[in-house]
Structure 1
Amino acid sequence: MFRGQRFLNGGHHKIPHTKRLLYAKGEPLVMFETVQEIAIYIHRFHNLDLFQQGWYQIKITMRWEDGRYTSPGTPARVVQYEAPDLGSDDIIGIWRIDDKENSFSTQPFRIKYARQDVILSVMISFNIPLRKFEVPATSAVILKFELLHASILENEYDFQASLEALPAAVHEFRIPPKGLLGLHSYFPVHFDTFHAVLVDLSVHVTLLKAGAYTPPKKVSSDIHRVGDAAHENCDKSNQVLDQGVCEDSKHISLLKALLIARDILLEELQKLSKAIDQKVDLTDYVSNMGESKLISPYLLGDNMASIGISDVTMGMRRVASEPWNSFKQKPNGIFDFGSDEVQQSLTKENLLSAFHSTSNQLSFLWNVFLKFHRANKTKILEFLRDAWAIDRRAEWSIWMVYSKVHMPHQFLRSGNDSSSQHSTRGRVSIAKKINDDPAETAQARAELHRRSIAQMRINNRSVQDMHIFGDPLHVPVLIVERAANAPFRTTSGNSFFSSMELRDTRIEPNIMAVNKLSAAGTHRNGRVLRAVVFVHGFQGHHLDLRLVRNQWLLIDPGAEFLMSKANEEKTSGDFREMGSRLAEEVTSFLKKKIDRMSRSGGFRNIKLSFVGHSIGNVIIRTALTESVMEPYLRYLHTYLSMSGPHLGYLYCSNSLFNSGLWLLKKLKGSQCIHQLTFSDDSDLQNTFFYRLCKRKTFEYFRNIILLSSPQDGYVPYHSARIELCQASLWDYSKKGKIFMEMLHNCLDQISSPSSERRAVIRCDVNFDTSSHGRNLNTFIGRAAHIEFLETDIFARLLMWSFPELFR
């Protein structure tokens, strides 16, 4: 590169040098080429809820989100860092790369039973070239995972063809442009509700050098042959200069991106090393930094350094804290590439040297990281998984609205104080505490929040699950209310609630099965029997709540689950009979688990949780009043109520649904419907629900979550939330008094002081029902009632935001 003036051959026109070009007279323009490398570690395939046995395989492809970016992701290298058990009949063949569609497929494996683990232990690295596009990329990358399935075939030669012909499910993820400069994250693949699995993955992304090349000439070389022709083609030569200036700027941007990618990779490597307490030897890296030690991303101008990268060398830290004085070289030798004067003074050799030096460092660090990951894969995966779980609380809070409320039971009076029940002044004071139509208010609040989501610009570095981020407006909105007058203990500012541990962890057994534990075994063993019972609703199936079960299993893999079958096809009878059957089923289940654990060393505690849908919640509460359950009441942990009619169907405003209930009572003679509508006895004080609300059931649980939906017309909104109903405020009949007594008894249990601290949550789930259209199900409110069973996103948002309540 020359200083001063430059001339075309035979011409007399000056070429301005406000921007220096990467070519000299007669030399071709040199272009740099980079590539995105995305490494995916497939650690484990865990069967949560596959309905079919057979052979399965995972297929991975990669593409740009922006259609202008046509270069596909190409499998570059594969590392099988743990050899599969080739002698096993459950794994056949090996992984495969398809050059035609640029895909990678794991080896086929056989799934035989639930909660089966298949260790895959393979890393696939994809390369996506960036030569013709801006650097860093402005488009996201889409990772596509396909679950392939084939039945067991007698002829294994036809196996591969049948497997590829039957893709069972697809799950896509998005790596945003910010993440393409550097990302190291865990993310799970679950596929869909009909193919619920857990594939443990971690993704590692960086930017690397791919080489340099010479682009084809766009201007005829005749302008260099005849001097006079140079005058005639001056405009064309200026186009060449403009192209050079443009490419010059691109090279500067590319070098900035490489520097940032280098520092992200080094910072992540150091963070992982510290987290798992394993040192990484970077002696060779420090000694070979070369000229790029003089370059800091803090001084490169524009907003590319706004990603928040920390400096990793002492020289860079000093520069970050010092002011910049013009474009002069600083005492420590660092140049400011953001300065026009520095860009004018750059030589082709200096820029090429910086590019190659930084690229070599990136390649070196990348190889160090891959080896470090291979040697410490288990610890790194655990660290990244924990970080992922914490980040999800913040990321998924987009769809959650938090508030703190006071349960209004302090405004109520005992049923014996009839004057207070009929006090107009008291009722007016209560009326001021609630809205005219709480369900409509809750729905309007959720829709307002949904409109605000439409205006959000989600701009982060995290891997985005397209089941959620593919169409954010279709994700349920959760309005979470924490009961401020229910005491709880907090250990982290990031969470409303924390894990509630028993103050006295010693077990005082009251039943023969628990007595089998020896005192020594109880103190020696730190294990906890964590049991969760799921109870379906009216005319339901024992697998109705499997989506919530799957989420609970992801949070607490060691939990024991009982999907209750005791009342399947028997939900039209008396609640007392249903509760008795459930109690017998639960105690039998617990005794078996206690016997098994006592034979293997015992345990120190029991945590018994319940999840109910619809009238399944009434069955749960009834079962807790049975004498056989009494020894276990002290171990009740979490109660998740999904749209449960805890106060029955008094003041149900859905006239169409009320007509259906009337028909069921007349035509079917369903005893539970009589009990729900308080027609099981002429004296309301003798009705089933009135008596149930007087029994202690809520009081024993340490965590209580009441899920409701203002769109649910099958269960009265106030009944699911256990709160005041406006219609009852102005009802001076005996029915109003009975309702207030029931409400008082329930709230008194929930918020009563006790030796245990209690977490209480009311959560409104507002589903997006636009896809259902206007039909009978949406009109009568059945659609939202069933959405609790058919949609698991709301469970993911809630349970991963408060995982302490589900462990």
Structure 2
Amino acid sequence: MPRAVKVQPAVMLEAVQEVAVYVHRFHNLDLFKQGWYRIKITVRWEDNENSAFGIPARIVQYEAPDLDQSSICGVWKIDDTENSFSTQTFRIKYARQDVYLCMMVSFNLSRSKSVDLTTNGVILKFELIYASTLENGADVQASLDASPAAIHEFRIPPKALLGLHSYCPVHFDALHAVLVDVSVHVSLLKAATAASKGFSGVASQDVKDIMLVRALLDSRNLLLEDLRKINKAVNEAIDTSDFVSKMNDGNLINFVVRANDFAIDGDNLGQGKPQNGLEGGNGTQNIRDAEKLHSLSQNELLDCFHSLGDQLYYLWKIFLKIHRENKTEILEFLRNTWAKDRKSEWSIWMMYSKVEMPHHYINSGGSDESSKRGMHKRVASLWKLPEEPLEAAISCAELHRRSIAQMRINNRSIQDMQIFGDPLRIPVVLVERVMNVPRRSTSEISLMRHVGFVDSHSLTNGPSSDTLSKKSAPQSYVRVLKIVVFVHGFQGHHLDLRLVRNQWLLIDPKVEFLMSEVNEDKTSGDFKEMGHRLAQEVISFVKSKMDKVTKYGILGDIKLSFVGHSMGNLIIRAAIADSSMEPYLRHLHTYVSVSGPHLGYIYSSNSLFNSGMWFLKKLKGTQCIHQLTCTDDPDLQKTFLYKLCKVGKCPTKVGIK
């Protein structure tokens, strides 16, 4: 009778993904409704929408909300049913209101064996919950338990799950324009060890365990490097004496040497991984490398697992302690890093082209008759523009979107799902650089010296904070006054451009803005008069802001920008040409034109549009329409638009700063 073989239990190593979300400030940009608000947060694996949610494991309230009792309702709570965390309910009363929440919640995600960790990321979901101020008590709670008013989701790619410290601005949507200052911190931690009996699958389990230990090693190196960066940013000393002693583990050093893909000091961190940021290229190679390490005994592997787990837990505690003591400095450091990283991330949505445009001059000589003939000839030959350029741009943008949709970007950056969730619906920015060149130009290099280009850095950040700090190092309290003027179009309202304003405020929250109202019911008159009224309104606004700055500090410089929609662009140009604006022309900074008829409406293929223009000119006697169609004077060179173009006073920089 054969002897019974005693089955030795196989040790199963397990790890947990910890995602810490720090909610610093809720800033109301432009919520349409006053009332009670709170934020609900959930974390889940990407491919498991209805299961595998992260469990809230740790809540830390750094400071009490700076609100009176009448503006606070209830306390923060955890919903065990859906594994969600909800902040304290707070009341929003006015625009630009700040509510400092100052709390951190940590979610634990189990790294299940069924989850493909090479391609599966984590979805971080923020929900904005709203209840009316007219409701009280139980009614408020019932409304808050209803469906959310807005949702904003982010994706943490697989590569970032090994270690991430990132700023994460939450702004929901255009109808709920807010800015929630959030930072996200991710690390891989040791969970537990379990024993399973039987021989089936032991070899494959060994490979997975080795892969897990290597992931812990990777996570440790990333966390150590990030701690060094944060330490340098906040100038906080880190006591690593205990950590150094934990690193002197013989089995761990042996494991690292055998793996030969990672170094203890992190110098070779990332070797053997794809450099193009795309997912799905290194899973097979990692398994092959792991199979080479079967010479490690189970005890050696277990020792490495516990050693790395202890080191990670120790470093994670150090980070949480430093974060509590330097939360504002760390948030500012992460915000600056995030702004720099977005320059490269958003660049994939921009396509650049260069167009050389020969400069033509209209012959000013000759009789009135020849001028009229020249005008009619120009209308017939130049203003019937073909549609091919537009169709080509649409086709090019569509192909570009499809190529982006096929990519699975895997890097250590949190991804905004409003952009990456459905790339086919995201607009592509076509940047066309037009150069006025002589007709017989032969050297492009000589011409380039006279052309100012728009670089991608200036489109997002403007002058870097380092540059500004160097310029103002002796006087750090000197303030640069940034003013943006928004001008509506024909028969428009001063809030027509509020969505553009909100997006600008997301980029630069400290900017002062003026929503022009002076021409709100007067857009049927003369452009020159409308421009003069706008100039007076801008001058008055600038002076009031200058007085406010000089009252509390020193005014360093003024950056005056304009955003115009439709006919408002011509009002802006008329205001800039006004003599009263002469002292402020040197402060012109940025000009953004949205659908501006800078060359007028001389020709249109739309018969309905032409009928409307005829009605406004003949029956309404609208002066600005005559000026737009260049019929305000028989001589083209005496029309308003022609003379406005000859003035040449206009900002030369294009782009949001």
TM-score (norm 1): 0.69
104, 108, 114: which one aligns with 1:123? 104
Partner of 1:274: 232
Partner of 1:449: 400
- Offset of residue 339 of structure 1: 6.6
- Offset of residue 463 of structure 1: 0.9
Deviation track 1:80-127 (CA, whole Å, cap 9, x = no partner) reads: 122334755333432111111111011111212211111111000001
Partner of 2:332: 382
Residue segments in structure 1 that go unaligned for 5+ positions in a row: 1-7, 12-23, 218-239, 322-335, 506-522, 706-798, 800-805
- Offset of residue 664 of structure 1: 3.5
- Offset of residue 533 of structure 1: 0.5
Show the 5 A alignment for 1:773-784.
Answer: none
172, 177, 180: which one aligns with 2:158? 177
- Offset of residue 350 of structure 1: 1.4
- Offset of residue 435 of structure 1: 8.7
Q: Cα–Cα, structure 1 residues 49 and 604, in superposed 2: closer, same or farther, change >3 Å?
A: same
28, 50, 59: which one aligns with 1:78? 59
In the alignment, is residue 574 of structure 1 matched against residue 526 of structure 2? Answer: yes
Please tell me whether the aligned partners of residues 260 and 297 of structure 1 are also in contact (alpha carbons under 8 angstroms): no
Distance in 1 (CA, whole Å) between partners of 2:251 and 2:653 is: 56
- Offset of residue 499 of structure 1: 5.0
Deviates more, 1:128-137 or 1:371-380: 128-137
| Matched letter for residue 469 of structure 1 | F
Show the 5 A alignment for 1:218-233.
Answer: none
382, 393, 409: which one aligns with 1:458? 409
Return the index of the structure with the highest Cα Rg: 1
- Offset of residue 300 of structure 1: 3.3
Show the 5 A alignment for 1:388-399.
Answer: 388-399=338-349
Distance in 1 (CA, whole Å) between partners of 2:653 and 2:449 is: 10
- Offset of residue 342 of structure 1: 4.0
364, 376, 389: which one aligns with 1:438? 389
Q: Cα–Cα, structure 1 residues 130 and 436, in superposed 2: closer, same or farther, change >3 Å?
A: closer
Partner of 2:206: 248
- Offset of residue 388 of structure 1: 0.7
Please provide the CA RMSD for this pair.
3.5
| Matched letter for residue 11 of structure 2 | V
Deviation track 1:752-806 (CA, whole Å, cap 9, x = no partner) reads: xxxxxxxxxxxxxxxxxxxxxxxxxxxxxxxxxxxxxxxxxxxxxxx4xxxxxx2
Instruction: Give the % identical residues.
Output: 58
Partner of 2:319: 369
- Offset of residue 258 of structure 1: 1.3
In the alignment, is residue 638 of structure 1 matched against residue 619 of structure 2? Answer: no
In the alignment, is residue 474 of structure 1 matched against residue 425 of structure 2? Answer: yes
Distance in 1 (CA, whole Å) between partners of 2:156 and 2:292 is: 36
Q: Cα–Cα, structure 1 residues 162 and 449, in superposed 2: closer, same or farther, change >3 Å?
A: closer
- Offset of residue 37 of structure 1: 0.6
- Offset of residue 45 of structure 1: 0.8
Distance in 2 (CA, whole Å) between partners of 1:121 and 1:288 is: 33
Q: Cα–Cα, structure 1 residues 298 and 165, in superposed 2: closer, same or farther, change >3 Å?
A: farther
Q: Cα–Cα, structure 1 residues 591 and 338, in superposed 2: closer, same or farther, change >3 Å?
A: closer
Q: Cα–Cα, structure 1 residues 78 and 684, in superposed 2: closer, same or farther, change >3 Å?
A: same
Partner of 1:744: none
| Matched letter for residue 450 of structure 1 | R
Partner of 2:646: 694
Distance in 1 (CA, whole Å) between partners of 2:392 and 2:354 is: 17
In the alignment, is residue 168 of structure 1 matched against residue 161 of structure 2? Answer: no
Distance in 2 (CA, whole Å) between partners of 1:641 and 1:138 is: 42
Show the 5 A alignment for 1:203-602.
Answer: 203-215=184-196, 241-289=199-247, 290-291=249-250, 293-294=252-253, 300=259, 311-313=263-265, 338=289, 340=291, 342-343=293-294, 345-409=295-359, 412-413=360-361, 415-416=363-364, 437-482=388-433, 485=448, 487=450, 526-602=478-554
Q: Secondary structure at the match of 1:593?
A: helix
Distance in 2 (CA, whole Å) between partners of 1:499 and 1:174 is: 27
Residue correspondences, number: 611
Partner of 1:720: none
| Matched letter for residue 609 of structure 1 | S
In the alignment, is residue 42 of structure 1 matched against residue 8 of structure 2? Answer: no
Partner of 2:276: none
In the alignment, is residue 607 of structure 1 matched against residue 559 of structure 2? Answer: yes
In the alignment, is residue 31 of structure 1 matched against residue 24 of structure 2? Answer: no
Q: Secondary structure at the match of 1:452?
A: helix
Deviation track 1:661-720 (CA, whole Å, cap 9, x = no partner) reads: 23443454433222211222333233221222222321xx25235xxxxxxxxxxxxxxx
Deviates more, 1:577-586 or 1:389-398: 577-586
597, 600, 624: which one aligns with 1:672? 624
Q: Secondary structure at the match of 1:608?
A: strand
Q: Secondary structure at the match of 1:190?
A: strand
Q: Cα–Cα, structure 1 residues 670 and 164, in superposed 2: closer, same or farther, change >3 Å?
A: farther
Please tell me whether the aligned partners of residues 96 and 107 of structure 1 are also in contact (alpha carbons under 8 angstroms): yes
- Offset of residue 413 of structure 1: 3.0
Q: Cα–Cα, structure 1 residues 615 and 339, in superposed 2: closer, same or farther, change >3 Å?
A: closer
Please tell me whether the aligned partners of residues 31 and 212 of structure 1 are also in contact (alpha carbons under 8 angstroms): yes
Partner of 2:113: 132
Distance in 2 (CA, whole Å) between partners of 1:627 and 1:398 is: 43
Q: Secondary structure at the match of 1:456?
A: coil
- Offset of residue 395 of structure 1: 0.9
Distance in 2 (CA, whole Å) between partners of 1:94 and 1:292 is: 48
Distance in 2 (CA, whole Å) between partners of 1:43 and 1:64 is: 25
| Matched letter for residue 151 of structure 2 | V
Q: Cα–Cα, structure 1 residues 414 and 277, in superposed 2: closer, same or farther, change >3 Å?
A: farther
60, 63, 85: which one aligns with 2:41? 60
Please tell me whether the aligned partners of residues 53 and 113 of structure 1 are also in contact (alpha carbons under 8 angstroms): yes
Q: Cα–Cα, structure 1 residues 154 and 169, in superposed 2: closer, same or farther, change >3 Å?
A: closer
Q: Cα–Cα, structure 1 residues 552 and 398, in superposed 2: closer, same or farther, change >3 Å?
A: same
Q: Cα–Cα, structure 1 residues 446 and 131, in superposed 2: closer, same or farther, change >3 Å?
A: closer
Show the 5 A alignment for 1:80-159.
Answer: 80-85=61-66, 87-134=68-115, 136=117, 138-153=119-134, 155-159=136-140
Deviation track 1:441-463 (CA, whole Å, cap 9, x = no partner) reads: 33333233233334334332311
Distance in 1 (CA, whole Å) between partners of 2:454 and 2:535 is: 35
Distance in 1 (CA, whole Å) between partners of 2:561 and 2:550 is: 20
Q: Cα–Cα, structure 1 residues 185 and 152, in superposed 2: closer, same or farther, change >3 Å?
A: same
Deviation track 1:485-535 (CA, whole Å, cap 9, x = no partner) reads: 57578999966899579xxx9xxxxxxxxxxxxxxxxx9962232211000
Partner of 1:621: 573
TM-score (norm 2): 0.84
Partner of 2:283: none
- Offset of residue 394 of structure 1: 0.8
Partner of 1:704: 654
Distance in 2 (CA, whole Å) between partners of 1:298 and 1:479 is: 50
Q: Secondary structure at the match of 1:459?
A: coil
Partner of 2:443: none
Show the 5 A alignment for 1:642-653.
Answer: 642-653=594-605
Deviates more, 1:30-39 or 1:149-158: 149-158
Distance in 2 (CA, whole Å) between partners of 1:361 and 1:441 is: 57
Deviation track 1:715-754 (CA, whole Å, cap 9, x = no partner) reads: xxxxxxxxxxxxxxxxxxxxxxxxxxxxxxxxxxxxxxxx
Distance in 1 (CA, whole Å) between partners of 2:387 and 2:251 is: 68
Q: Secondary structure at the match of 1:703?
A: coil
| Matched letter for residue 661 of structure 1 | M
Residue segments in structure 2 that go unaligned for 5+ positions in a row: 273-286, 436-447, 469-474
